[in-house]
Amino acid sequence: MAEPLEDITAKAQLPQAARFARLSAKNERRNFRSGVTNGVLYGLGIYFVSGTTIIPSFLSHLTRSSAVIGIVSQFLAIGWYLPQFVAASFVVHQPRKLPLYRIGWWIRGAALFALAGVTLAAPGAGALLALAILFYGLFAGGAGLSGVVFLDLVAKTIPERRRGRFFGLRLSLASVLSMTIGAAAISLLLDHFQFPVNFGFVFLAGAIIVTIGLGFMAYLHEPRSKNVPDARTLRQHFREGWRVYRYDKLFARYINARLVFGAWTIGVPFLVLFAQSKLGFRTADLGIFVAAGSFGTLAGNFLWEHLTDRHSAKACLEIAALVSAIMPVVLLLYLVLPLPRLIYALVFAVAAAVDAGTTIGGWSYLIEISPEHDRATYIGLFNSLMALPLLLTALAGALLDLTGFGFLYALVLALSMLSLWMIHRLEPNRDHRDR
């Protein structure tokens, strides 16, 4: 008796389905490895142009304005966040979004090499300050072009069950390298050359490592999105963003909480200034703070990854907000107690740990509450709004010049406590959408 045609067809399709499954698993493993390698190299390289340690110290040789030092030190975060909603309007309807990431890759690499080149050329202080701000700003702006694409790529290529581990591995391995090779190299370069050539070599090392790292993400295997919105004009895109914020209550509450938490970072760029002006640390000592920051990221990741994968992204954010209060408390204690100098490295560890917590927990929460159909709009809107509290850093610098460190870091402590309360009031991120 002949087999039914349906059975013959099903059998013929089995090898094809098996090949497709093997190919999908292979692409998933490749994407995971490439994404982790990207994060490790980028995380190592970015310490060579860190807005927490290297850039504030570099600028302090060129200007005495805390406002300028504060706002420029936040350029990378501002550049990552601010352009993303506009950038999303160009890719939200595209089934593949890697081309925009590659444009950002070349802009960022070229800008960092230009920053290193002009610093090594050692023009006058005024020209060096202006050109350094220009090239560091271009590097930061390129990050914004890639940012909205990056999270969408992660959502498309990394399964939800592995995202906590994905972000954790990126940050942890980068921290190990930064705490050892990175810190040693930065201290060696800063100590063995005169200003500004010493910073020029630091920037050059960062440019090489960052550019190579970005290349790994630029060549992921990106699947085509099957469910994308229609193309929009920029005006329509802004109207859609306002509609999302107005009607998606969970998303709006999350944005509000993160805006307050984001304002906590206004105190980070001035940690180096306090170390140099109040505690007597030298430029060559920046390696200590780089190592402390790397250790904070590494130690925090064990907690953040566990909280995100085993509990929820909300729990990760709550603990990160609680930990953030340690930084202003330690600095305020230095104003009234004769604490040992090396304890001060703790503030850099805390700042890095909190940043890692908001990265792992915050991105995971955002991806989970963003609908696939319009994920680029959600991510772009969220990230652009996150630039707003960072713009307050210039005001924080002016406040520092007027009132001193005590008042500024008392304000930072109040922001930590307020953000903890607002994050606690958020709903769990899993299966609690209330559109």
Write the CB contacts of 425 (distance below 8 Å, at least 6 apart in sequence).
253, 257
What are the C-alpha distances in Å from 46 to residues 140, 154, 297, 426, 430? 11, 20, 13, 32, 32
> The tokens of 50 are what?
């860190």
Burial class (CB in 10 A: 0-12, 13-18, 19+), 198: buried
User: Whole-angstrom Cα distance, residue 127 to residue 238?
Assistant: 38
Q: What is the DSSP string of 133-164?
A: HHHHHHHHHHHHHHHHHHHHHHHHHS-HHHHH
Predicted local confidence at residue 206, as pLDDT:
94
Residues 26 and 287: their CA atoms lie apart, in Å, by 40
Contact between residue 331 and residue 347 where contact means Cβ atoms under 8 Å apart = yes
Sequential pLDDT tens for the chain (435 residues): 555 555 555 555 546 555 545 556 666 677 888 888 888 998 899 889 988 889 999 998 898 888 888 889 888 888 877 776 676 666 655 656 677 778 888 888 999 999 999 999 988 888 999 999 999 999 988 887 776 677 777 777 777 667 767 777 887 788 788 888 888 898 889 888 889 999 999 999 999 999 999 888 877 766 666 666 566 666 776 777 777 777 788 888 888 999 999 888 888 889 988 998 888 888 888 888 888 888 888 888 778 877 877 778 888 899 999 999 999 999 999 998 989 988 999 999 999 899 888 888 887 888 778 777 777 677 777 877 888 888 888 888 889 989 999 999 999 999 999 999 999 888 875 444 443
Q: What is the pTM of this model?
A: 0.75
pLDDT score of 302: 79
Identity of the residue numbered 157: T
| 217 touches 151 (CB < 8 A) | no
Give dist(CA 57, CA 330) in Å, integer: 21
What is the Cα 342 distance to its own chain's centre?
Answer: 27
Is the domain 33-220+227-424 a CATH 3.40.50.300 member? no
User: Would you say 53 and 73 are in contact if contact means Cβ atoms under 8 Å apart?
Assistant: no
